[in-house]
Amino acid sequence: MSAQSAIPAPSQTNGPGMRAQVAAFSARHRSTSVLVGGSLVAVLLAFVVLVPPFSSFSPQNVWVDGFTNAGVYILLALGLNIVVGMSGLLDLGYAAFFAIGAYVYAFAASPFTGADLPFWPMLFVGAGMAAMFGIMLGAPTLRLRGDYLAIVTLGFGEIVPITILNLSDYTEGPNGIGGISPPSIGDVPFPTTGNPWPYYVTMVGLIIISMILIYRLQESRLGRSWMAIREDELAASANGINTVTTKLLAFALGASTAGLAGVFLAAKLQTVTPNLFRFDVSFTVLAMVVLGGMGNIWGVAIGAFIVYEIQNVVLKQLNLFFDNVQVPILSDINFIEYQYLLFGVALVAMMLLRPEGLFPSQRRKRELHTEEDAEFGELGDPMGAAPE
């Protein structure tokens, strides 16, 4: 036994690489590193767009505004990652909580209801309401697993926008609620056009805080319970984990992040319509989580950013490019129409080539990569037990 444990030692004495050192440091000072890393990325992004290839597409203001919208999706992906990546509960109706957050703020600060509550506390209220709906959805579905849970959540995801659509008396139906107040600091409201910076900074702050909190959850006893439930629910409950409350908490916390995103979106667009929360949002966010690397918080955030930028910038720029440069077939294609085809192809390719996602968590990598299994088969098992 001691001989076996001695084997990895020599590789360690070669000196841990730069990357390993950074990883070790960030594991020790998680919150600081997220704060510093997040702010650095935010600043870099805002200024990288001043450099030629990007600056030719659109001015900095437009870029930064786009990044803010991408931030909404990053928040959504971070929240869905709690439910899908960390707890292993497939949720296909995630956009419902997004909608609930948005409508909570729309009711709280628009001429439609006449109320004008301030934005900052409403962030918490929106998150709380979404969490409550998360529990409401979670409570009856907790006995379901896998496919069944996916179907029920899919249904819930449809129920919420359709209810909003049809309750015209209370929600203005398909027209949506307009004239929502923007956030304000003191008496100064955020500028709604021209200057995207206040929203951008708010978004970056929300993302960093969410990431820090989610990291803390992941590294706590609760995160460990989620992981255990994902691995083997029966074994988890046989070790004293109350699977009902633990799964409910996953739903509630995931939903509350979506609620945050919803409140922010309503305040940024100053208008909400049921169309913003259709199934394609749930699907896109799920694709972001899968592509980014389920379970890895940074990976999911980066995955969401990449997917959003491809969807909203790259495809648009391709269209513009081929409008100007005449290439026989490509110029006739409207690339934006093909975005879901691209998603499909990307997801299939992903599952074949790199099932753990672009930036996998260590754990997912171990789960899905066959390297270790090969090693296992090579060394053989004394009892002839199969790897799985």
Partner 1 sequence: MGSESPAAPAASAETILQARQVTKRFGGLVAVRDINLDIPQGGIVSIIGPNGAGKTTFFNVVAGIIDPTAGTVAFKGTTLISRPRRVWLESVLWVVPALVVAIVALALGAGGAGDNGLLVTTILVAVALVVTLVVATIRPAWYTTFLSRLGVLRSARPNDVVSAGMGRTFQNIRLFQNMTALENILVGMHLQLRSNMVDHFAASRRQQREEAAAAERARELLRLVGLRGRDDELAKNLPYGDQRRLELARALGNRPALLLLDEPTAGMNPNETAQMTALIGRLRADLGLSVLLIEHDMRVVMGISDHILVMDHGELISEGTPEEVRRDPKVIEAYLGTGAS
| Residues at the interface with partner 1 (CB under 8 A) | 1-2, 5, 30-31, 132, 135-136, 139-140, 142, 169-170, 213, 216-217, 219-225, 227-228, 231-232, 234-245, 248-249, 363, 366-367, 372, 376, 381-383, 385, 387-388
CB of 211 to partner 1, least distance (A): 13
CA max distance for the chain: 74
| Count of Cβ atoms closer than 10 Å to residue 238 Cβ | 9
Q: What is the DSSP letter of 29?
A: T
**CB-based contact 166:174 (threshold 8 Å):** no
CB of 152 to partner 1, least distance (A): 15
For the chain, how far is it from start to end, CA to CA, in angstroms? 23
Q: Which residues sit opposite 304 in a β-bridge?
A: none
Q: Which residues sit opposite 184 in a β-bridge?
A: 189
19 or 28: CB nearest partner 1: 28
CB of 291 to partner 1, least distance (A): 21
222 or 272: CB nearest partner 1: 222
Rg of the chain over all Cα atoms, to the nearest angstrom: 23
CB of 377 to partner 1, least distance (A): 12
Vertex 133: Cα angle to 129 and 137 (nearest 5): 170
Cα distance between residue 162 and residue 272, in whole Å: 14
Q: What is the DSSP letter of 383?
A: T
197 or 376: CB nearest partner 1: 376
CB of 234 to partner 1, least distance (A): 7
26 or 31: CB nearest partner 1: 31
CB of 153 to partner 1, least distance (A): 17
- Count Cβ atoms within 10 A of the Cβ of residue 152 and give its class: 0-12 exposed, 13-18 middle, 19 or more buried: middle
CB of 239 to partner 1, least distance (A): 5
Report the run of H or E that residue 184 belongs to, with start and end. strand 184-185
110 or 225: CB nearest partner 1: 225
CA separation, residue 384 to residues 295, 366, 381, 388 (Å): 32, 21, 5, 12
Which residue from 388, 384, 373, 133 is spatially nearest to 248, judged by alpha carbons?
133
Scanning 167-196, the segments in alpha helix (DSSP H) are 168-171
CB of 247 to partner 1, least distance (A): 9
232 or 337: CB nearest partner 1: 232
| Count of Cβ atoms closer than 10 Å to residue 226 Cβ | 27
CB of 384 to partner 1, least distance (A): 8
**CB-based contact 299:360 (threshold 8 Å):** yes
115 or 235: CB nearest partner 1: 235
Token pair, residue 47, equals: 């200024």
145 or 366: CB nearest partner 1: 366
281 or 290: CB nearest partner 1: 290
